[in-house]
Amino acid sequence: MKQVSVDLSGRSYTISIEAGVFTRAGELLKPVLRSPRAMLITDRSVAALHLQQVSDSLRAAGLQLAEPIVLEPGEHTKSVAAFEDLIEAILDRAMERNVTLLALGGGVVGDLTGFAAATILRGVDFVQLPTTLLAQVDSSVGGKTGINTRHGKNLLGAFHQPRAVLIDPLVLNTLPRRELLAGYAEIIKYGLIDDADFYNWCLAHGTALIEGDLETRSYAIAHSCAAKARIVAQDELESGPRMLLNLGHTFAHALEAQAGYGAGLLHGEAVAVGLVLAAQLSARLDLCSADLAPQLAAHLCALGLPASIADTPCKGTPAEQLLAHMQHDKKVQNGQLTFILMRGAGQSFVARNVRAADVLPLLES
């Protein structure tokens, strides 16, 4: 088992990564939970694949499970209306402050469950059991929870750290290739942020990861979690270094908003395009070599990810319209857009003085 510690004063926890770890969920979680009472929250797709296995493991360890809550899959479930329904469903099950919510699913389930845990009864414990590659390497770690509004992505939320994260690479065998690719975009992002060696590792091993090599997947997951844990430990509430984790995301969130947060454009697909656009913007501003964006785009395209706006449902959207979506981004300060730019692979930084005139040409498709 690979274990990664997220070191936070009074809120530290361990990420446990092991093939088959869901069969040991009860054994691993029982010593961590403050009471034996727990409630699983998942979605319909994940429930059909993994709910029974996880439930059996938890009960075998003596945990007392409430009736599980099964949500509809998809980004549309991260809404105010769905959040209200979830809160009522939790309270319908005689919720008490000593119950731990267990998020079994991808980023939507994790974000929604985490936000519920942060707010219901003024805060209860929760655990992340991520079932998508993107959730395993990104959204399940770090305590960001939230839901979308019609104004943009994750505009309602809270920082609320989990008690534990259990990651089972074997569940990725049930994941569609498209979902695997979406998660890979978040993996290569860590290399671009501050680890050029890992970026080069991704260039060399990305295909093996997507094709199902267990050792490669496990290494990439553990390395990504360690990278995020290190940054979160430095800056839990995103006032400094943690902002670097948003590399590519200012562009990505605008594309997702334009696409309507639907199945036509997954978050990781938008991030892939956003990473290329961030590299293009960096080159346009003479911050990095002009070679980085084409290299990155060629690698992503070879795997099957989109690498330009023209590869997405947002093709043909007026650049001004995409820029308007960016104005609703959480990182806007004093009306100024914030971008994470690069001086090269592994050399990212926060830029607050980017002119719209430099961004608009990149948004043409």
Any idea which residues carry the catalytic annotation? 122, 144, 186, 228, 238, 242, 246, 249, 253, 267
Coil, helix or strand for 250?
Answer: helix
Report in angstroms the alpha-carbon separations of 173 from 19, 40, 56, 203: 11, 22, 20, 22
Angle between helices 267-284 and 292-303 (to 10 degrees): 160
DSSP H helices in the chain: 25-29, 44-46, 52-60, 80-92, 107-119, 133-134, 177-194, 196-211, 214-234, 249-259, 267-284, 292-303, 319-326, 356-359
Closest to 70 measured CA to CA, from 97, 93, 98: 93
Closest to 26 measured CA to CA, from 65, 57, 50: 57
Q: How far apart are CA 8 and CA 10, in angstroms?
A: 6
Q: How far apart are CA 124 and CA 133, in angstroms?
A: 26
DSSP 138: I
The answer to whether residues 104 and 50 touch, using CB atoms and an 8 Å cutoff, is: yes
Q: How far apart are CA 135 and CA 131, in angstroms?
A: 7
